[in-house]
Amino acid sequence: MIEKIKATELSIGRTYLSFILPVGFDNGEKLDFARSLEENGFAFFKLNDQNKDHENIFGDEISVDTQELEQYFLPYTEHILFPESLNEHGFHRFTKSIGESFIICIHGKTFPFYVPTIDVMLGPFGFAFLTIRVTLDKEEKDLADVLDFAQHFRAVESKLDEERGAYILHPQSGNSISVYDFLFTLLCPVMERYMLPDEKPDRYFGSFPYIEDERMLVSAFLFSLDNTPITEDQLYRMGTIDGRTPNGEVFISANNPSYVQRFLNKYMHDRWAPHTYTIITGHAFMTISNELPNDTERMLSQFMGTHYYNYLLHYFYKTMLLRVAYEYSKIDWDKDDEYVKSLIKFITLFSSLYYNKDVSTRAEGKELTIMFRKAFQIDSYFKEVTNTLQALYKSQENLAADRMNTLLFILTIFTVISGIYGMNLVIEDWKTHSGWKDFMNYTLFEWISLITAVTGIALSFYLVAATFSKKIRNKLRRRKAKNYL
């Protein structure tokens, strides 16, 4: 009989959490969006900026080395992650210092937390990240409470039973507000103006219909007490963000120890064991260490800097690949010729400008890249996109061939008919002013000739008009596509 795994307690000292929310915006308003962010206290991040305030993203406790950011990524990846201006393609990051404390209540239990900074990263194709950095107070707390805080805070719209029962106290009025209102009314109200409404009204404003989870990603670096053993159940609960049940009991979403072991073999990075472990899943990127914070300053700096960008980049890959599958499912093959062309162009631009299998120059960066790709199932999604692109090209070729054959058939028929008797029978009547009055006396063949001639002329005018209007529409689409990047 399999022995049931037990959830063990672990005291946590310092906590550094980042909550990452993907949102959609109108890419045509990207420059206006960026100006509005700067007018509301956000600073544009550049690697060679002399202002070093943006390096201290968690206040004075953690400093991110911009030189290491520059050296960590391969040149083509560095170019898109750290563009020097808004006119360059890539991810444009804006950071704002908040420096305020708040309180969240979860099932009657209060958790004071501090927000040092927030980021808005404007990415390609109308895709943006909102990152909220959070630290809990430095008093010792159980791992289950930290994970419970993360589980409830990441739920932008609480729908499941385990997500309900949490609210944030407004610092001025004392009223309770939801996480959504906290993000877009209190912390970053400028964003809501540019966010695109979702097709489904029950999802959060600005969400994507092709993202399967409506909750924020969680990135965290946790410190347990010095040299406290870290067990497998604790690592598993970090990867699945298992906090507490509504009754306050420690929750673990598995019973079988063998299952937990297989899970850890797949998602755990143990390069720095036995003191430090990292868990990477589709919704969590967490590191825990039982060493003193002063002994892991560099590791913490890398986690908040280079590893953070690596994580976001691969989540962007996953989201764009899911977007292709979603757009492909919406194609009406009988009508959406231009839609198919735009989808082919989107796939080509994404693959050539942004998608790269290898992004880091460092050994650990390469290891994490492999784990990110595994957690986000990027290889399988990319294979589907490759098959999709081949299907789109084949569809375009078949459609073009069918249209050409149809056009040649119609023109051939009209040429033959009009050449035999169409124009010869009625053309003389068209030369006189009274010729049109004789149509009532036309014979059956003369009527056929008249209809054939008029229809042929009308078809010619239609084809000319349709060709020119199509050229104009394509020109407008190409102009719009330049803003799509």
Instruction: Express each pLDDT in 63-95 by its tens digit.
Output: 777 788 888 999 889 999 999 898 898 999 999
Residue 385 · residue 321 · CB < 8 Å: yes
* Average model confidence (pLDDT) across the chain: 82
The whole-number pLDDT of residue 52 equals 55
Question: Is residue 296 over pLDDT 90?
Answer: no
The whole-number pLDDT of residue 217 equals 94
Pairing of strands 217-224, 284-289: parallel
Instruction: State the Cα–Cα distance between residues 349 and 352, nearest whole angstrom.
Output: 5
Q: What is the mean pLDDT of residues 307-321?
A: 93
Q: What is the mean pLDDT of residues 399-416?
A: 64
The whole-number pLDDT of residue 435 equals 53
Tokens 């959060």 found at: 204
Give the residue, 138 or 396, on which the prediction is more confident.
138
Instruction: Express each pLDDT in 87-138 by its tens digit.
Output: 898 999 999 999 999 999 998 889 999 999 999 999 998 899 999 999 998 7
Q: Any residues with CB less than 8 A from the CB of 213 and at least 6 apart, and which?
A: 282, 283
Tokens 């010619």 found at: 460
Question: Is residue 267 over pLDDT 70?
Answer: yes
Q: What is the mean pLDDT of residues 6-30?
A: 90
Question: Smallest Cα–Cα separation from 150: which of 224, 237, 22?
Answer: 237
171: its two tokens: 């610092």
The whole-number pLDDT of residue 10 equals 93
Residue 213 · residue 281 · CB < 8 Å: no
Instruction: Express each pLDDT in 410-446 by its tens digit.
Output: 666 666 556 555 455 555 666 665 555 566 677 776 7
The domain locations on the chain are: 12-320, 397-484
For residue 280, CA distances in Å to 150, 194, 370 come to: 15, 31, 11
User: By percentage, how much of the chain surpasses pLDDT 90?
Assistant: 39
Q: Which of 62-71, 148-157, 218-227, 285-294 has the lowest mean pLDDT?
A: 62-71
Question: Is residue 218 over pLDDT 80?
Answer: yes
Question: Smallest Cα–Cα separation from 392: which of 351, 335, 337?
Answer: 337
The Cβ of residue 88 has, within 10 Å, a number of other Cβ atoms equal to 11
Residue 117 · residue 58 · CB < 8 Å: yes
Q: Any residues with CB less than 8 A from the CB of 81 and at least 6 apart, and which?
A: 73, 90, 91, 309, 313
Q: What is the mean pLDDT of residues 156-184?
A: 78
The whole-number pLDDT of residue 245 equals 87
Q: Name the β-bridge partners of 60.
A: 58
170: its two tokens: 């407004």
Q: What is the mean pLDDT of residues 213-239?
A: 90
The whole-number pLDDT of residue 162 equals 58
Tokens 């190409």 found at: 478
Positive or negative: CA dihedral 228, 233, 239, 244: negative
The whole-number pLDDT of residue 81 equals 93
Helix (H) or strand (E) holding 404: helix 378-417
- Three-state SS for 406-471 is HHHHHHHHHHHHHHHHHHHHHHHHHCCCCHHHHHHHCCHHHHHHHHHHHHHHHHHHHHHHHHHHHH
Question: What is the DSSP track for 219-283?
Answer: EEEEEESTT----HHHHHHHHHT--B-TTS-B--S---HHHHHHHHHHHEE-TTTTTEEEEE-SS
Instruction: State the Cα–Cα distance between residues 172 and 177, nearest whole angstrom.
Output: 12
The whole-number pLDDT of residue 423 equals 52
Describe the chain by its helix, strand, coil percentages, rounded to 5: 50, 20, 30
Instruction: State the Cα–Cα distance between residues 348 and 30, nearest whole angstrom.
Output: 22
pLDDT band at residue 343 under the 50/70/90 scheme: confident
Instruction: State the Cα–Cα distance between residues 106 and 178, nearest whole angstrom.
Output: 12
Give the residue, 61 or 304, on which the prediction is more confident.
304
Instruction: State the Cα–Cα distance between residues 17 and 115, nearest whole angstrom.
Output: 10
Question: Smallest Cα–Cα separation from 16: which of 100, 140, 113?
Answer: 113
Q: What is the mean pLDDT of residues 219-244?
A: 93
Q: What is the mean pLDDT of residues 317-341?
A: 75
The whole-number pLDDT of residue 187 equals 92
Q: How many helices (H) and strands (E) does the chain have?
A: 14, 13
Residue 59 · residue 53 · CB < 8 Å: no
Tokens 């104009």 found at: 472
Question: Is residue 205 over pLDDT 70?
Answer: no
The whole-number pLDDT of residue 395 equals 66
Residue 31 · residue 282 · CB < 8 Å: no
Residue 292 · residue 213 · CB < 8 Å: no
pLDDT band at residue 223 under the 50/70/90 scheme: very high
